[in-house]
Structure 1
Amino acid sequence: MKQNKYDEPGFFANYSRMSRSIGGLDAAGEWHAFRAMLPELRDKKVLDLGCGFGWHCRYAREREARSVVGTDLSENMLERARALTNDSEIEYRRCAIEDFDCSEGEFDVAISSLAFHYVESFADVCQNVYRALAAGGSFVFSVEHPIFTAKAEQDWHYGADGEKLHWPVDGYYKEGAREANFLDHTVVKYHRTVSSYVNTLLESGFRIMKLSEPQPTQEMLDQIPEMHDELRRPIFLMIAAVKN
Structure 2
Amino acid sequence: MQRNGSQYYDKEEFFHNFTLKRASKENPNDTIEKPIFIDLVGDVSHLNILDIGSGDGKFGIDLMNAGCKSYSGIEGSINMHHTAVKNLQTYKNINLVHSTIENWEFPKNHFDMVISRLVIHYIQDIEALFRNIYDTLTDGGRFIFSIEHPVITSTLQTNGQRTNWLVDNYFVSGIREQEWLGSTVYKYHKTIEDYFQALKSAGFKIESLRESLPKREHFEKEETYLRRLRIPLFLFLAATK
TM-score (norm 1): 0.90
Structure 2: tracts of 5 or more residues without a match:
none
| Number of the residue aligned with 1:161 | none
- The Cα of 1:57 is off from its aligned counterpart by 1.4
Residue 102 of structure 2 aligns to a residue whose secondary structure is helix
Aligned residue in 2 for 1:241: 239
CA distance in 2, matches of 1:126, 1:207: 12
Q: Which amino acid counterpart does residue 240 of structure 1 have in structure 2?
A: A
Tell me how far 1:106 sits from its aligned partner.
0.6
Of 188-197 and 82-91, the range deviating more from structure 2: 82-91
Is the alpha carbon distance of 1:21 and 1:103 closer, same or farther for their aligned partners in structure 2, counting shifts above 3 Å?
farther
**1:42 shift after superposition:** 0.8
Code of the aligned partner of 1:94: H
Amino acid at match of 2:52: L
Q: CA offsets per residue over residues 54-101 of structure 1, 9 Å max, x none?
A: 122111111111111001100100111111112121111011112222
Partner of 1:112 in structure 2? 116
- Overall identity of the aligned pairs, in %: 30
Q: Could you tell me which amino acid in structure 1 is paired with residue 129 of structure 2?
A: V
Residue 57 (structure 1) aligned with residue 60 (structure 2):
yes
Partner residue in 1 for 2:43: 40
State the TM-score, normalized to the length of structure 2.
0.91
Q: Which amino acid aligns with 1:103?
A: P
Q: Aligned to 1:231, which of 222, 229, 232?
A: 229
Equivalent residues of 2:173, 2:191 under 8 A apart: yes
Q: 1:103 aligns with which of 107, 110, 118?
A: 107
Aligned mates of 1:8, 1:139 — CA distance in 2: 30
Partners of 1:11 and 1:155 in 2: CA distance: 13
Change (3 A) 1:91 1:157: closer
Contact 2:204 2:239 in 1 (8 A): yes
Q: How many residue pairs get matched?
A: 237
**Residues in 2 aligned to 1:22 and 1:47: alpha-carbon distance in whole angstroms:** 28
Give the residue type in structure 1 aligned to 2:44. L
Q: 1:94 aligns with which of 78, 98, 101?
A: 98
2:78 counterpart residue number: 75
Aligned-pair distance for 1:108?
Answer: 0.4
Deviates more, 1:17-26 or 1:178-187: 17-26
Tell me, which stretches of 5 or more residues in structure 1 are unaligned? 159-163
Q: Does the CA contact (< 8 Å) of 2:159 and 2:181 recur in 1?
A: no
Q: How does 1:1-244 map to 2 (within 5 A)?
A: 2-3=3-4, 4-20=7-23, 27-85=30-88, 86-153=90-157, 164=163, 166-223=164-221, 225-243=223-241
CA shift, 1:221, in A, is 4.3
